A and B are shown apart, each in its own frame.
Chain A
Amino acid sequence: MSFTFKQRSIIPGFGLSLGFTVLYLSLIVLIPLSATFLKTASLTWDQFWHVVTAPRALASYRLSFGASAIAASINLVFGLLVAWVLVRYTFPGRRLLDSLVDLPFALPTAVAGISLTAIYSSNGWIGHYLQPLGIKAAYSRLGVVIALTFTGLPFVVRTVQPVLEDLDKEMEEAAASLGASRWQTVSRVLFPAVMPAAITGFAMAFARAVGEYGSVVFISGNMPMRTEITPLLIITKLEQYDYAGATAIAVVMLVASFALLLLINLLQVWSGRREKSATVAEGEPVSVAANA
């Protein structure tokens, strides 16, 4: 520790806190995760490829990734709208709705699952209006999208909200005084400013949806090839004591989630840098105004 591994500091406890952090991280996360990759090594490459490209597995990836992309897109559009309405307008019940946005984080997925199923089944509150229209919401792919929209709802709202709050009204005033219509101001000034945050939120909602299990299993109907998501396929294989098969599919999911994690980190660096350069540029007049 005498080389530049650590900068000098008079604050004690570096060895203890870092040692405990690394030990706990290794025991709970790193060692069990690497054990999974080790377990796949018991399969040959051909066997592994056969399992992860079986028609039933391919159908489950299509559903998991496809439904997640649709749900995340719904959340992107409505998340931007909700964030805008919550930040810019005042109306009765605004604060209540603002705190309710985090409900999907706080409500256990199994509770959300049975509740959404009850709402969208053919005799449910919304389901019985959809039934005469020939729309089958529960026990269908649409049900999967509905459940994933619920679980991913807070992400875009919560990433966009702080950016909108920090946006300087002067930019809009400048655009307006230079003759831009309101729509031009929104699409050319506001939209580019919130876009990095919105895309980060989209990616987070997508990543969460791909791995989601609890809220989906109740509403999806779980039919192989049609409404079976990838996490459910892993559980099915486990219940058949097909540990190697379950592990192979799990490794595919792990690789996908690590790729998404990397992407989200890059997006956050990108949007953070944009935000920072914006506040640095706009920083001075604001602080002057605060003192005046």
Chain B
Amino acid sequence: MATAITLRNPAVATPRTRAATEESSLVRWLLIAIAVLFLVIFLFLPLAMVFSSALAKGWSFYLASLRQPDAWAAIRLTLIAAGIAVPANLIFGVAAAWAIGKFDFFGKSVLITLIDLPFAVSPVVSGLIYVLLFGLQGLLGPWLAAHDLKIVFAVPGIVLATIFVTFPFVARELIPLVQAQGNDEEEAALTLGASGWQTFFRITLPNIKWGLLYGVILCNARAMGEFGAVSVVSGHIRGRTNTMPLHIEILYNEYQFVSAFAVASLLALLALVTLLVKTLIEWKARQQRTQLEAAAAAEGSL
């Protein structure tokens, strides 16, 4: 559509209407300046502060901060939590997208709303619900204690809380995508004798791969960075149940600012990589769409 407008503009727009549908250059540059200033203050400065504080005492101190055993343990636990939460929510997202996108059934819109529910819940409350279920005072607490199982204030609780807060990411990317793609290609494959799994892996999965990747990287960024929910269920045992964000909090509260920012810089790097991949995927998806549109337009003119 954008191409249609740019193609048409030179022909239709006389200099007078062009002036009437655009702001004067003074207004334009003023608006740009305010917007850029706002974004620089609120986005660029926090990012720059992380890296400049992390390197405030030089590279050797930076590397030494990251080599501390507690920092390593935190990094390892963060990778474990994300390594379980992301694939779990990936499988769920694909299943939910298949059920909701490919079939019409009673209660579908309620199901979609329920999947979005974890986004509406405060991170602190997300952690609390697991404490209330599995903690010593909780509903299942006595039973778990009797069987010597520990979920809250241990790694399983951290994994569960991480799964909860990242629950909708993959599903909400995939559901609209699968819905938009329709069933034609799958039905063709099935009538030609493909099995259900063959159809999924050869037809559906290639069609949704960019949306899937998009959901996964956003899910991963949140899983590795989650603070509130994990803080409630972790119990803050140094070297055992501290993830990277929790380790940052401890260092910060002990006035080890440079070390705190050193660990924070790793998460900030992760955020930057996430944004980069996200931009690339969006670019790729837009390219695919314009190609499809061009193909459709070519077909239409024939």
Residues of A near any B CB (own CB < 8 A): 4-7, 9-14, 16-18, 20-22, 24-25, 28-33, 35-36, 38-39, 78, 81-82, 84-86, 89, 91, 93, 97, 99-112, 114-116, 118-119, 124-126, 149-150, 153, 165-166, 168-169, 172-173, 176-177, 182, 185, 207, 210-214, 218, 230-232, 234-235, 238, 241, 243, 246-247, 250, 253-254, 257-258, 260-261, 265, 286, 289-291
Contact = CB atoms under 8 A, between A and B. Distances in A.
A66 B224 CA distance: 30
B275 A99 contact: yes
Contacts of A106: 218, 221, 225, 270-272, 274-275, 278
A149 B248 CA distance: 22
Contact of A21 (B4, B96, B113, B200): B96
Interface string B242-254: 0011101100100
B106 interface: yes
Contacts of A246: 128
Interface stretch (B32-40, B63-71, B142-150, B205-213): B32-40
Nearest to B45: A119
Nearest to A39: B132
B47 A10 contact: no
A173 B13 CA distance: 9
Contacts of B116: 261
A235 B248 contact: no
B38 A36 contact: no
23 contacts: A9-B103, A11-B187, A12-B190, A25-B114, A100-B39, A101-B43, A106-B272, A108-B226, A108-B271, A109-B225, A114-B257, A125-B49, A153-B42, A169-B5, A185-B21, A211-B125, A213-B123, A214-B231, A231-B123, A257-B122, A258-B120, A261-B117, A290-B1
B43 A126 contact: no
Interface string B147-166: 00000000000001001100
Contact of B164 (A29, A125, A257): A29
Given A13-B98, A286-B1, A108 B245 contact: yes
